[in-house]
Structure 1
Amino acid sequence: MSDDEEYDEISSQPLAPYVGMEFDYVDDAKLFYNDYAFKMGFGIHTTASKNNQKKGPVVLIKRVFRCVHAGKPENKTDTSSASEAISMEQHSPSKESWFEMDVTNKRQKNRLPERVRFYHSHRNISQEDLDLILTMHDVNFSTSSCMGMLGRVRGGDRRILPYVKRDVTNFRSKLRQTINLRDMDMTVAYFERRQDENPEFYYAKTVDEETNSVTGLFWVDGRTRALYRKYRDCVFFDTTFCTNRYNMPFAPIVGVNNHLQTILLGCALLPNEQIETFKWVFQNFLIAMNNVHPLNIMTDQDKAMDTTISEALPNIVHRCCKWHAQRKAREKLGRILSRDEVFEQAFYTCINDPETVDEFEENWHHMIHCFELEDNRHLCNMWRTRHTWAPAYFRKCFFPFTSTTGRSEGLNSYFKTFINPQASVWKFVQQYEVLQETMLDREDNQAFIGEATTTPLYSRYNIERQAVNFYTRAVFGKFQSEVIASTGYVINQVPALHNGSINFGLFSNYYEDPKIFKVNVEMPDEKFECSCSYFEMNGIICAHIIRVMTHLNVQTIPQCYFLQRWSEKATTPTGSQLLDFGLPSNNTLKYNSLYRKLIWLASQACGNDFAYNLLNDAANQLELVIVAARRRELPEQREVHQQQMPQQQAETHRVPS
């Protein structure tokens, strides 16, 4: 064939339907007519179908496809139309799927292909694209992002896609509707499967007795339960975000890891925010954590939560968020605060600056008396609940580098980027696991940075070098800030009240803050105490103690001032576990481990014919071995089974004494 003949064949007009054209199946006729319509620039639809009227199986005897622009004929005898149509009639009953085509007047539209694709008959999502859309749907891509990705896969221009954005939206809606019909059942079944795969996974549910429907969920994974003992010294609990179509409050229980990152210690979806519901959450939380109570907990100013914690966790320190207390004060005292700047400064200074309870209470009474606010109702309420929110009452309690529930609320805000507020619970659980994986990846990245890089030192103090070898990168950053701040204090020794102790007074050498910090030192016991209580609150020594140590030429920080929870070893396996992780704990981890190995083998073997044949033959042989192993038919499995049989028989026939 010459080049001219080939060009003419490629550029020729599509085969037009003609009277007498036959097809074996109706789908073949529709496909042919639809392809012809696309090339000619119009769309089609089905206008008539007719089945046989006899008893027995239904048999299609006629179906008419017509251009979407075709008008109705003025009378029944008029077979012409403004466009063209195809009808299939079954003439031979002996031939099951034989159709005759009848063609009426034709009209060519000659529309551009970019516009013809908008006809419904030409919009079809292939199975490969459906699989890709499902993957993007699972990771919560927006529909616009899905269309952009599909366009890139198809060559970079989304206009060549054989479907439009509405088709993708409709497909995703069908997915959501399918899940919504069995939402809770899928979620509970998934939790049960997780528990079977890994006994360390824990979940609980509440069920409505009347409707027998699940109304609340609580779950904790195995890794979280292992980490809880190291990070139980401070947890946060908040229910400010409703994130599913049932308006069930999302109640995460979070903590702080050794990289100063927020970690999830548990999660609950609650039917309401009542006392009994909160009791159910904390009861299951303690069951999951083997009845090991947290030491300190911070929540918002919710009365039901306060009552629940006092009953369910009576021996822990419960602190309310200072930000919530101040926000409510701004709402109630807005006019006073905006009208009197002196009172506003005195109000916040009274809350934030006192180091002791006595100092706070004295300053509060002085403020109330000076501004004549003894009868202000909200200030009276704040005074009555001062022991739950005022920082002075928690100077000796461990709430590292925070006085608010910002970690919980920040997690809620971050979670909004993963989940749609109208999403199902099943979708929520999936995205919750994506969030966990994201947080684990972030934690691994910080651990890698700490191992692979060296933090520059600010000074030549041995105590700073000691700290950099112990703390994680993030915590050492906090410690180094204290080292830098220590250079800004003037130190004076003051008479000691007890023998063996040394007292120091420190104040800023810039005289920007007249406040004096007191440090008490007992050298024989290697004990350092500061009036700011920075170590008790945050777990690292303060700038004032560092200044005293350098003044006394102390070369090493006592080990009691290094909390293990801030070290790199807090989450790093020790010994052989660092290199040998053993058998994965569940099917998902086993699958991922094998997947990585086999993908690597395939990538190495595909570039060489001999290596390909070698791996292919080994895979064929291994397939038979795996099938036998699943049936427990391998010789090794039989030997183990024969060794276990006498022991099982002995236990069965053992007579109790």
Structure 2
Amino acid sequence: MRFDSWEAGLAFYRMYAHEVGFSVRVWTQHKGEGGVIIWKKFVCARQGWRKRKSVDLGQVTQEVGRKKAKRNIKISRCGCKAMMGLKRQDDNKYEVVQFVQSHTHQLVSPSKRHLIRSNREVTSDLRNKLFTCSKALLGTSKTFRLLSIEKGGPENIGCTKHDLQNCQRDFKAAIKGADGQLIVDIMENKKKANPAFYFDYQVDENNKLTNIFWADSICRKNYSLFGDVVSFDSTYRFNKYDLVFAPFTGVNHHKSCVTFGAAFLSNEKIASYKWLFQTFLKAMCGVAPKLVITDEDQSMRRGIESIFPNTKHRLCMWHILMKLPEKVGPILRDNEDFKPRFMACVRGSETPDEFESRWSSIISEFGLEDNEWLKEKYGLRESWIPAYFMEFSLGGILRTTSRSESENAFFRHFTNRKLTLIEFWVRFETALEEQRQKELQEDNCALHTLPVLETCWGIEAHAREVYTHNIFVAFQREVVAARDRRHVKTIERVGDVRTMSIGDLSGRIITVCFNTNTKAAQCTCRMFESLGILCSHIIVVLKNDGCNEIPSQYVLHRWTKMAARHLCYDANGHEMEGSSTSLSPIIKKLYSQTWSRFSLALHEARHCEDKMEYLNKVVADALAHLRQTAPLDEQSKVQEFESFIGTTFPSIINIHPPDIANTKGSGKRLKRGSEEAINKRKKVNKP
């Protein structure tokens, strides 16, 4: 038997081995002049014997970080003699000159032949699938299950789950040592593709990456539109180096989280925060936020005071209240009356006086006069109690929930603490894409649908036309409250100004001053100042005055349907719009259409053998035609890795990966008393 090349001979022997039931290994060869292979031998994978030291040990050790992990070795060699030898002839073809058919071991049954090593390969197609699934946080196990479903069973995949894990291991090994350089190179490429992309970084004296900040063009545009209030959190880590992940978060016109930028920090010192805030300021054309909300980190506070001296700094209520159960003890933690009253005090008080009164009552009634933590929080009350921010413009839009916690929970869904910086970046981009797709869906819904009205009031209909759906729902609640639960008790007139007392069903009185000429209104509840939408008290007054539309001064542009439809430019005149992509919109559309049609054709033919054979022939002919008319150079595994991450592996590494950071760590979920009791019992009963 003769072959055009030794590779063709190997392919034949592998097909033969698959049918018989054994695995093939390339064994030895001899080269002649010019490096031409004269003869080559292929053997059964169970040929020969494992080295004596491995048999004696039965185990090997691997270095894993600073620990040694033991790995069991399974011996497969048994001295099998089966083989095939090829020799190069004068006509440059290879002839079979040796062939041993018999084996000294049991052959693999047909049901297990897909597990034979020489029959398995993580092909380019499978690697691409693995990379694609990795972007969506599908690990190797879930990817393997998905492939099994798509291909009609694990025997049709072409590899095992362990093979996919090895491919992922190879990817991490390729990144190792170049992680810092790669992340910087990726961002350099992003900036070349879109000059509005902004990033900066720091290295230490050993050229190891310490801090890095980035904001793409859409992040910067969102900040220019919605950056009046910023939430900043640095309590979570999503990478193998334990670097602090610090996203800057805001609220868009749909009241959804929007990312303004993000950073990795190697420590939580004042100098790091100063650098980060200064870099953020440069990225945002020197415009500081009006209000920034953070946790209680003192280094962060000092950094904000230094870089954002005119910015109002407020502490995140969520971070403080999360510690409440621990600080008040198990008795009050499970008290059914304490928590509702405490929450009503800190969240529901509309004036500082009301808060002071409620706080004093709670402290006295529950015997908390000596609680040092509550004393400390009371001393900081002007930094976290909403009643002290009611007069500050939009100071309340982040008060009902923790935007930072919501943002971290969102990114946590896409990341984990074993990721390299490159792996994190790929998934971060996927997360941003999902966040922005949600905004597009909300924009489309707001522009092409209308919510149902609850009243016949013209002011509600006007709000439906101008506001996004989520803002309209909040405004609609105020309209319904104005209709059902508010009434005018008294009116005092002085010129164009009316001072009106508005009562509710609980007997509470709210005062509204209204100018009938300018339509300017001021309510003692301060809801408009805090949230940017009119309260039910002012709506009652407007209705009483015959207004069928919201006065223009009370329609904040940031809450309208058209809020994001503006062209924005950075300080260098670069338009801050969508980032550049390697595929043109036309190619992306054709790719999507082709994939959809192929999937539909496969679905139509799946139950008919004749149809499947026809489809298989059509696809094979199309593939052969494409390769003939426009042949592509086959990518190596490294080139595929580079295509996945968006940059080439550096030949020279100037920026090294960061050291493992020694930071304060991520916040932990507070547990209820019952959970802690169960955990304590487990520790006591632990043998």
TM-score normalised to structure 2 length:
0.74
Compute the displacement of 1:257 (Å): 0.8
Check conservation: 1:50, 1:62, Cα contact below 8 A: yes
Aligned to 1:592: 584
CA–CA distance in structure 1, aligned partners of residues 181 and 582 of structure 2: 26
Pick from 47, 59, 68 the counterpart of residue 46 of structure 2. Answer: 68
- Structure 1 counterpart SS, 2:255: coil
Report if the CA contact (8 A) 2:40-2:85 is conserved: yes
Gap change, CA 1:109 and 1:309, over 3 Å in 2: same
- Which shifted more, 547-556 or 274-283? 547-556
- Answering whether residue 253 of structure 2 is matched by residue 258 of structure 1, we say yes
Conservation of the 8 A alpha-carbon contact between 2:83 and 2:98: yes
Count of aligned residue pairs for this structure pair: 565
CA distance in 2 between counterparts of 1:359 and 1:43 reads 80
- Which residue identity is paired with 1:292? V
| Distance in structure 2 (CA, Å) of the matches to 1:350 and 1:600 | 54
Q: Call closer, same or farther: CA 1:152–1:277 in 2, change over 3 Å.
A: same
Distance 1:114 1:332 in 2: 61
- Give deviations 1:538-589, integer Å, cap 9, x for gaps: 1000112212322333333211111011111111248xxxxxxx99989935
Contact 1:124 1:162 in 2 (8 A): yes
Q: Does 1:416 align with 2:394?
A: no
- Deviates most, 330-339 or 453-462: 330-339
Q: Counterparts of 2:33 and 2:135 in 1: how far apart (Å)?
A: 47
Against the structure 1 CA distance between its residues 544 and 425, is the aligned structure 2 distance closer, same or farther, given a 3 Å change threshold? same
The reply to whether residue 36 of structure 1 matches residue 28 of structure 2 is: no
For residues 322 and 125 of structure 2, the distance between their equivalents in structure 1, rounded to whole angstroms, comes to 52
Deviations 1:442-492 (CA, angstroms, capped at 9, x unpaired): 111111112221222111111112111111122111111111122232424
Separation in 1 of the partners of 2:502 and 2:578?
Answer: 57
Q: Who is 2:166 aligned against?
A: 170
SS at match of 2:267: coil
SS in 1 for 2:446: helix
| Residues in 2 aligned to 1:160 and 1:89: alpha-carbon distance in whole angstroms | 31
Q: How do 1:47-446 and structure 2 match up within 5 A?
A: 49=28, 63=41, 65-66=43-44, 68=46, 84-86=81-83, 88=85, 100-103=97-100, 105-106=102-103, 109=106, 111-154=108-151, 156-209=152-205, 211-335=206-330, 337-338=332-333, 344-397=339-392, 398-403=394-399, 406-446=402-442
* CA 326–98 in structure 1, closer or farther in 2 if over 3 Å, else same: same
Deviation at 1:365, TM superposition (A): 3.5
**Secondary structure, aligned partner of 2:115:** coil
**Alpha-carbon distance between aligned partners in 1 of 2:486 and 2:23, rounded to the nearest angstrom:** 86
- Map 1:507-656; keep pairs closer than 5 Å: 507-509=503-505, 513-573=506-566, 588-589=580-581, 591-596=583-588
Q: 1:491 aligns with which of 477, 480, 487?
A: 487
Q: C-alpha distance in 2, partners of 1:598/1:499?
A: 68
The answer (yes or no) to whether the contact 2:226–2:558 under 8 Å persists in 1 is yes
Contact 2:196 2:575 in 1 (8 A): no
- In 2, Cα distance between the equivalents of 1:306 and 1:315? 13
Give me the whole-angstrom Cα distance separating, in 2, the residues matched to 1:586 and 1:515.
50
SS in 1 for 2:250: strand
Q: For the residues of structure 1 that align with 2:556 and 2:512, how far apart are their CA atoms? A: 20
Q: Deviations over 1:307-342 (max 9, x none)?
A: 221222121221111122222232111245247655
The secondary structure found in structure 2 opposite 1:333 is: helix
| Stretch of structure 1 that moved more, 487-496 or 476-485 | 487-496
Aligned residue type for 2:293: M
Query: Residues of 2 paired with 1:104 and 1:599: CA distance?
Result: 48
Find the aligned partners of 1:391 and 1:325 in 2 and give their Cα distance: 13
Partner of 1:472: 468
> AA paired with 1:191?
M
Distance 2:224 2:577 in 1: 20
State the SS of the aligned residue for 2:213: strand
2:37–2:88 contact (8 Å) kept in structure 1: no
Structure 2 CA distance for partners of 1:90 and 1:202, relative to 1, 3 Å? same
User: Aligned pair in 2 of structure 1 residues 566, 179: CA closer, same or farther (>3 Å)?
Assistant: same
Q: Aligned with 1:215: secondary structure?
A: strand
Structure 1 stretch displaced more, 280-289 or 334-343: 334-343
* Distance in 2 (alpha carbons) for counterparts of 1:161 and 1:109: 25
**Which region of structure 1 is more displaced relative to structure 2, 185-194 or 336-345?**
336-345
Residues 139, 431 of structure 1: 8 Å contact kept: yes
Q: Which runs of 5+ in 2 are unaligned?
A: 51-77, 568-573, 599-624, 630-687
For the 8 Å contact 1:399–1:537, the answer to whether it is kept is yes
Secondary structure of 1:181's counterpart equals coil
Q: Is the contact made by 2:523 and 2:537 (CA closer than 8 Å) also made in structure 1?
A: yes
- Cα distance in 1 for residues equivalent to 2:576 and 2:228: 30
Distance in 2 separating the partners of 1:543 and 1:97? 90
How far did 1:124 drift?
2.1
Change (3 A) 1:22 1:495: closer
1:191-239 deviation line (CA, Å, top 9, x unaligned): 1122223221111101112x11221110111222233222122111111
Q: Is 1:506 the counterpart of 2:502 in the alignment?
A: yes
Give, in angstroms, the shift of residue 166 of structure 1: 1.0
CA gap of 1:469–1:66, structure 2 versus 1, over 3 A, is closer
Question: Could you state the TM-score of these two structures normalised by the residue count of structure 1?
Answer: 0.77
Distance 1:522 1:50 in 2: 97
Structure with the greater alpha carbon radius of gyration: 1
Between the aligned partners of 1:344 and 1:590, the Cα distance in structure 2 is: 54
CA 1:29–1:313 in structure 2 vs 1: closer, same or farther (change >3 Å)? Answer: same
Which structure is higher in RCO with an 8 Å CA cutoff and minimum separation 6?
2
Q: Deviations over 1:377-409 (max 9, x none)?
A: 122211211111112111122135431662221
Q: Secondary structure at the match of 1:469?
A: helix
Q: 2-side partners of 1:161 and 1:590: how far apart?
A: 29
Instruction: Answer yes or no: is the 8 Å Cα contact 2:486–2:504 preserved in 1.
Output: yes
Can you list the C-alpha shifts for 1:27-62, whole angstroms capped at 9, x where unaligned? 44443333222212233445x64768x999697766
Specify the alignment match of 2:443 in structure 1.
Answer: 447
The match for 1:481 is 477
**Post-superposition offset of 1:424:** 1.4
Q: CA deviation at 1:353?
A: 3.1
Question: How far apart in 1 are the matches of 2:563 and 2:192?
Answer: 28
**Residue type of the partner of 1:68?**
R
Following superposition, the deviation at residue 171 of structure 1 comes to 1.1
The aligned amino acid for 1:277 is: S
- Summarize the Cα distance change of 1:110–1:587 in structure 2 as closer, same or farther, 3 Å threshold: same
- Cα 1:399–1:87 shift into 2, 3 Å: same
How far did residue 418 of structure 1 move?
Answer: 1.7
1:133 to partner: Cα distance = 3.2
Give the match's secondary structure for 1:423: coil
Distance in 2 (alpha carbons) for counterparts of 1:468 and 1:339: 43
- Which amino acid counterpart does residue 287 of structure 1 have in structure 2? K
Q: Percent identity?
A: 29
Structure 1's 198 and 37: CA in aligned 2 closer, same or farther, altered over 3 A?
closer
Q: After TM superposition, give the deviation of residue 284 of structure 1 in Å.
A: 0.7
C-alpha spacing 1:26/1:547, structure 2 compared with 1 (3 Å): same
Mapping of residues 3-18 of structure 1, within 5 Å: none
For 2:33 and 2:300, the matched residues in 1 are separated by 69
